[in-house]
Amino acid sequence: MLALMALMLVASLTQSIKLNFFRYDDARFPYVYMQTRREFISLVEEINAIAARSDSGKQIAIIVTSRDYWPLPWYLRDYSFVGYPGRIVPPTEEIIIASETQERELIPLLADNYRRVGSYPLRPTVTLVLYARKVSKHASSFPEIE
């Protein structure tokens, strides 16, 4: 009886370690709480790169229109001007972060002033898209993204 309990404990501990430390974002293992995907860090790195290339730096204006954005506030905590309205609003900021499902509503508001930088999975069911304001050839404060 004691051997069976020890075997069950080892099996449970092994599975717990595997799920919590190595496969925490593997969609094949469902959780009530879905972990942030590793690829999300690419979004943060791109925002940092855009800010570094601009004259605004950490003062760059960012708006997050997606209702699903955690843990983005943690990663953007050093930025002074970040808004989280959770809905599409007329853009005035240099950087827009929306959910992929909001793009149809967002694109007409962008006109030809923004460029889609990329899409980044946040969780298995949520993908965020990043837009950055284009600059005219005469402006030098915010470089156009290729």
Question: Is the pLDDT score of 122 beyond 70?
Answer: yes
The yes-or-no verdict on residue 144 having pLDDT over 60 is no
Q: Is the pLDDT of residue 141 over 80?
A: no
- Tell me the two tokens of residue 128: 């965020």
**Res 16: pLDDT:** 83
Write out pLDDT tens, residues 5-62: 989 999 889 988 887 787 776 767 766 566 788 899 999 999 999 999 999 999 999 9
129: which strand partners? 98, 119
Q: Is the dihedral of CA 32, 33, 35, 36 positive or negative?
A: positive
Residue 134 has pLDDT above 80, yes or no: yes
Give the pLDDT confidence score for residue 98 in this predicted structure: 98
Q: Please state the separation of Cα 87 from the chain's center in Å.
A: 16
Q: Is the per-residue pLDDT at 140 higher than 70? A: no
Interval 81-104: pLDDT, tens: 999 999 999 999 999 999 999 999
**Confidence at residue 27, expressed as pLDDT on a 0 to 100 scale:** 67
Pull the structure tokens for residue 37.
């995907």
How many angstroms from the chain centroid is the CA of residue 127?
8
pLDDT for 35: 73
- Check residue 38 and give its pLDDT: 86
